[in-house]
Structure 1
Amino acid sequence: MTTRGIEVALAQRSPEPIDGTLDGFAADVAATLTEHPNTGLLVYPEMHLCGTEHLPEADRPAALRAGAVPLDSEYVAALGAIAARHNVWLCPGSIGEIGSDGNFYNTQLLFAPNGELQATYRKMFPWRPFEPHVPGTHFTVHDLDTFQAGGNGQDESAAQPTGIVGLSICYDAWFPEHSRQLAWLGAELILNIVKTTSPDREQELILARANAITNQNVMASVNCAGPVGRGRSIVVGPEGFVIAEAGIGEETLTFTFNPNDVTEVRERGTMFSNRVWNQFTPEDAPVALPMYDGRINPTEWAPPSRQS
């Protein structure tokens, strides 16, 4: 296999105030990349730029709605400019999005190193009844290999990131169907951005490992830092082993993501034993899934294969 991979940094941070500017965020991106200069993909927590903790509790829902923007806004373009300034893949967390349908979504953003908005995902499972957002209805995966260097004055000889990422927001990880669908669509790394302020972070750490094990991919769950959040961001490999885990306060987790590691585990099996994506043969009968008014089709069970 050829050597492929990308250095990923998970920025466990306290939220930026929703009524502030992007100056603080831009400064943190610059400082983080100075400290970790080999970073190819930088990821921040859910609603990182939408902090309302400094406001009276009764005013927070209205502030979230007032701070929402469409994806073609100057605000989103300014975030892309930060990515381009540092020539890095950037997930600034999620923002409040006003869709073309007028609905209010919690939307994860992924910018390419040239500043272009490459992928978006609307949170499918808002934490009801506390979150005011409308649920999204579409899964999102993005192949980082599709990005072409040279735009915006980039050095075409620079090493390019690689791998397929799936986008996921916080409570989505509690629904195994979500991570399973992303893996089936080809996701080798799932970026689960989180804003957990409640005492159930311990359970989320178990879910990160479980989702990695059952789908044989890498799970990266980046939470916001204390005192607002419960921290403990985590990276889990495709066999369920913890690669890195943070404490409560602000820190940056770094790891090398190589999709070949996912391919290897899927081919030889978890612990040289379990090959969950090879469970069925084309001759097996479909399995009915009454809960979804659907079925598992054995001929379409496995994710798409990648050439290494």
Structure 2
Amino acid sequence: MSRHLRLALVQAPAESLDDFAAGLRARMKSPNAAQLVVYPELHLCSLGADRMTEEEYYAAYAEPLDGPRGARLAELAREHGVWLVPGTVLERADDGRVYNTAVVYGPDGALVATYRKIFTWRPYEPMCVGREFVVFDIPGTGRVGLSICYDSWYPEVTRHLAWMGAELVVNVVQTATAGRAQEIPVVQANAIVNQVWVASVNGASPTAQGRSLLVDPEGHTQVAAVGTEDATLLSVVDFDRVAATRKFGTAGDSWPWDFFKADDTPLELPLYNGRIDPATWRPAISPETPAALLPEGPVVHRRPAPEGDPA
């Protein structure tokens, strides 16, 4: 049985929670209805931010994930029966620290994954940095990894998510600068070298520079916004394309995850004070992957997603 997911990438300007709720209801009643709905970075935490001090900004938007905002987002996911990524929110942790955190709610309203941005856009983003990579499973479909905006500029992030078994990496973005032009090929490169789907969802004007896109495991753009307008991009993600690309090769002639042989010596990586060990190079395989698409030879496969609160 094939593993398909109807995906909606919502390229919209920042809005209030009330407007977000109304807009989501409208989108889910239209042909834009989807199973996984993704909004841009800080989508609900940007209105008026340019006129606030850091203290005022945190006072206006930072709250615990189980606070009133979280409860309402959970209810919206449950109401529409969707996997909902409402962008990122300002999370105030128990110790008072504030993080830029991506949240994922399941169709039953449960908070299924949280990811604190690791590579904040310094010096312009004052939020604390996270230190854990996060993936989550959509039962019967596949595994999804989370990254936030500037994370995409660091190839270690996407590679680690792919190694953890992510078949689709959701990268939520709020780029309001000319740098969006450079992010497009970076997104394609991350998809190509890791043989995964990558969805990069940027905000619309006047919040950000748009040009959201979905790239397949061979680097082909499946759907894209050419401008900065408010738009909902729809596509169907075929998770089996990941395993097929790895089995038969990107463009039929490249197998980066199968490079090492069992008797190869480890490759020292002085940059990381570490190494690539051929015995652990291959990525995890989603438990949903059909047996016919599993690679031959040694493989780290069908490893479960991390348990507990990933953040």
Same fold? TM cut 0.5: yes
The letter for the 2-side match of 1:7 is: R
Count, aligned residues: 286
Shift of 1:60: 4.4
Per the alignment, in what secondary structure is the counterpart of residue 252 of structure 1? strand
CA gap 1:104/1:177 in 2 versus in 1, 3 angstroms = same
The answer on whether the counterparts of 1:64 and 1:96 sit within 8 Å (CA) in structure 2 is no
Alpha-carbon distance in structure 2 between the residues aligned to 1:300 and 1:194: 31
The answer on whether the counterparts of 1:97 and 1:105 sit within 8 Å (CA) in structure 2 is yes
User: Could you tell me the percent identity over the aligned residues?
Assistant: 43
Aligned ranges 1:244-259 → 2 under 5 Å: 244-246=223-225, 247-259=227-239
Superposed CA deviations along residues 218-257 of structure 1, whole A, max 9, x for unmatched, are 0100000012210000110100011011121100011111
Alpha-carbon distance in structure 2 between the residues aligned to 1:116 and 1:40: 15
1:126 aligns with 2:120: yes
Aligned ranges 1:170-249 → 2 under 5 Å: 170-246=149-225, 247-249=227-229
| CA root-mean-square deviation | 1.3
Shift of 1:56: 5.3
Alpha-carbon distance in structure 2 between the residues aligned to 1:278 and 1:56: 48
CA gap 1:273/1:56 in 2 versus in 1, 3 angstroms = closer
2:280 matched to which residue of 1?
300
The answer on whether the counterparts of 2:267 and 2:276 sit within 8 Å (CA) in structure 1 is yes
1:42 aligns with 2:21: no
Alpha-carbon distance in structure 1 between the residues aligned to 2:50 and 2:255: 51
1:5 aligns with 2:4: yes
Per the alignment, in what secondary structure is the counterpart of residue 29 of structure 2? helix
Per the alignment, in what secondary structure is the counterpart of residue 252 of structure 2? coil
Superposed CA deviations along residues 2-21 of structure 1, whole A, max 9, x for unmatched, are 2111100000000014xxxx
Alpha-carbon distance in structure 2 between the residues aligned to 1:249 and 1:40: 23
Superposed CA deviations along residues 91-118 of structure 1, whole A, max 9, x for unmatched, are 0000000112321100000000000000
Of 96-105 and 258-267, the range deviating more from structure 2: 96-105
Aligned ranges 1:1-308 → 2 under 5 Å: 2-17=1-16, 22-36=17-31, 38-52=33-47, 54=48, 57=51, 59-66=52-59, 67-145=61-139, 162-246=141-225, 247-306=227-286, 307-308=289-290
Alpha-carbon distance in structure 1 between the residues aligned to 2:96 and 2:206: 34
The answer on whether the counterparts of 2:37 and 2:84 sit within 8 Å (CA) in structure 1 is yes
The letter for the 1-side match of 2:55 is: A
Shift of 1:61: 2.4
The letter for the 1-side match of 2:25 is: A
Q: Which runs of 5+ in 2 are unaligned?
A: 291-311
TM-score, scaled relative to structure 1: 0.90
The letter for the 2-side match of 1:43 is: V
Of 99-108 and 215-224, the range deviating more from structure 2: 99-108
2:298 matched to which residue of 1?
none
The answer on whether the counterparts of 2:8 and 2:32 sit within 8 Å (CA) in structure 1 is no
Q: Which runs of 5+ in 1 are unaligned?
A: 146-160
Per the alignment, in what secondary structure is the counterpart of residue 250 of structure 2? coil
Superposed CA deviations along residues 51-85 of structure 1, whole A, max 9, x for unmatched, are 13x3553x242333111111221220110000000
